[in-house]
Amino acid sequence: MALFSNKDQYDFGLISSADDVTIEARDLRKEASRSFWWETLRLIRDVFLIIVTFILIGVFFVQPVVVDGSSMLPQLHDGERLLVNKFIYYDVKNVSFGHLERGDIVVFWYPEDPSKSYVKRLIAFPGETVEIKEGKVFVNDVELIEPYISADHNHSRNPFPRTEVKNHTYFVMGDNRDNSADSRTWGFVPEKYIYGRAFFRYWKPQNIGFVRHADYPDGPPPPISDMRAGEPE
């Protein structure tokens, strides 16, 4: 039978930082408290930055609007919610979303009561001529083929005499030509009143998606040079 000799036995007592300089004593409760407040401050900072970002986006770039009425049928319906791109207000020519184009669905302050906003389609630019005959629109004496118009909403044959769009203004119309108060009745929209172009519909659920703008089969009539820049009114 093998015998094992007794070896030296060591008693282990309490360990303190004085036993070894490499030992670091920590108070876990204090560290947990410090970590909690640090994470809380970081969360507050992140929430603040998110709020500031959304405010800046809302002020300068994107704004929600509500469609009120049926003047843009069949494209837009009463009660739908849209996001509008406000970047066009700065007229950046080298990007498509930075300036106005013919056929855009634009949002603007109603010239006769700027406390109200209207949604219409941009038909003609400053310096161009507009005429309506037998329900057809002519821009610079060229017929504008409008695929967004429904025959169900375009029975009216009221003429509109050949008229030149004034400097710094635009000619707009609703797609529902039978039931739309627009430039045919109250005149042109000053450029400074146009504050956005609709680009996304986020309500109602069945119609969520990007808003389609005009896709002219033969291309739109080329616009006369936009008179925004530097010309006297």
Per residue in 78-114, pLDDT tens? 999 999 988 776 666 665 666 888 999 999 999 999 9
pLDDT at 187 over 80: yes
73: which 2 tokens? 């049928």
Tell me how far apart the alpha carbons of residues 90 and 98 are, in angstroms, rounded to a whole number: 7
Q: What is the pLDDT of residue 219?
A: 60
> Higher-confidence residue: 105 or 13?
105
Residues belonging to the chain? 233
Report helix, strand or coil for 87. Answer: helix
Q: What is the pLDDT of residue 224?
A: 55
Which tens digit of pLDDT belongs to each residue from 135-149? 999 999 999 999 999
Q: What is the pLDDT of residue 138?
A: 95
Tell me how far apart the alpha carbons of residues 122 and 168 are, in angstroms, rounded to a whole number: 14
Q: What is the mean pLDDT of the chain?
A: 79
Complete DSSP assignment for 74-137 = TTS-TT-EEEEEGGGGG--TTSGGGS--TT-EEEEE-TT-TTSEEEEEEEE-TT-EEEEETTEE
7: which 2 tokens? 């070896």
pLDDT at 4 over 50: no
Q: Judging by DSSP bridges, how do beta strands 136-139 and 142-143 pair with one another?
A: antiparallel
Give the residue-averaged pLDDT of 170-181. Answer: 95
Residue with tokens 């504050």: 195
Give the residue-averaged pLDDT of 10-30. Answer: 55
What are the catalytic residues? 71, 120
